[in-house]
Amino acid sequence: MMTNLFSVFDPSSSIFNLSLNWMSTFLGLLLIPSAYWLMPSRWHIFWNSILMTLHKEFKTLLGPSGHSGSTFIFVSLFSLILFNNFMGLFPYIFTSTSHLTLTLTLALPLWLCFMLYGWINHTQHMFTHLVPQGTPAVLMPFMVCIETISNIIRPGTLAVRLAANMIAGHLLLTLLGNTGPSLSFMIVSILLIGQIALLVLESAVAIIQSYVFAVLSTLYSSEVN
């Protein structure tokens, strides 16, 4: 039973300290509409329009040489992270994407697969990618070092970007909320308005971060081929 500032991020529940809070990861499954009738409902139209927009965007990013059908994994990734981020903003619902365990689980296998596939099957192409177009010949060794390092830290940056954004938002709201009991009525109303504004910002951040994760994964996969 932790009583510190980060208790919001504790996945253990009060039922024998089992980590049942991780079940919030599956909340999106309840919200994604299942196709039953021929005529789509409003939810279906809404959800499908979002998915089609993303699909077209990712298809453009992947370019003509991208394997058709590879947009599906990135669109699914987007929806998983979106639901986790957004539902975590509601009171008492756990934000599973604020944990590196989850974000690294998403980022590391993806990156590793891209790298293994690229280096084994398109070794020459991967080597040429280490030197950007238009680099002066003098700078080429340094560019190779820099590009290698930036490549290696990619799973880390993907994971930490998502986790840190989620943690920062929740932490800020928690910190502001903890000062509440000691303030006068007037100041508390200002605090509440500030917290509501932060909540709106956090919902935008939740959606944007899921989009960023998906887009960057798409770009990393397009570089391999």
Partner 1 sequence: MAFGDYPAEYNPKVHGPYDPARYYGKADVPLGQVKVGEIGAWLSRRNKSPQAIAGAFSRAWWRWQHKYVQPKRSGVAPFFQVTVAAMTFFYAINYGKMRHHRNYKYH
CA–chain centroid gap for 174, Å, is 21
Would you say 11 and 94 are in contact if contact means Cβ atoms under 8 Å apart? yes
The one-character DSSP state at 122 is -
The one-character DSSP state at 128 is H
Question: Nearest distance from residue 180's CB to partner 1, in Å?
Answer: 11
Closer Cβ to partner 1, 40 or 156, answer by number:
40
Sign of CA dihedral 164, 170, 172, 174: negative
Question: Nearest distance from residue 191's CB to partner 1, in Å?
Answer: 15
Closer Cβ to partner 1, 34 or 65, answer by number:
34
C-alpha–C-alpha distance, residues 30 and 27, integer Å? 6
Closer Cβ to partner 1, 88 or 169, answer by number:
88
Question: Nearest distance from residue 224's CB to partner 1, in Å?
Answer: 36
Tally of CB atoms within 10 A around 193 = 10
Closer Cβ to partner 1, 44 or 161, answer by number:
44
Closer Cβ to partner 1, 21 or 70, answer by number:
21
Closer Cβ to partner 1, 3 or 133, answer by number:
3
The one-character DSSP state at 225 is -
C-alpha–C-alpha distance, residues 76 and 210, integer Å? 11
Question: Nearest distance from residue 24's CB to partner 1, in Å?
Answer: 7
Place of tokens 């509501």: 196
Question: Nearest distance from residue 13's CB to partner 1, in Å?
Answer: 4
Question: Nearest distance from residue 136's CB to partner 1, in Å?
Answer: 55
Q: Which tokens is 172 given?
A: 């800020």
Q: For binding to partner 1 (CB under 8 A), which residues are involved?
A: 1-5, 7, 10, 12-15, 20-21, 24, 27, 30-31, 33-34, 36-37, 39-43, 87, 90-94, 178
Question: Nearest distance from residue 16's CB to partner 1, in Å?
Answer: 10
**122-129 — which CB contacts under 8 Å span 24+ positions?**
122/224, 122/225, 125/224, 125/225, 126/224, 129/223
Closer Cβ to partner 1, 96 or 151, answer by number:
96
Place of tokens 């290696």: 152
Q: What are phi and psi of 39, to 5 degrees?
A: -80, 125
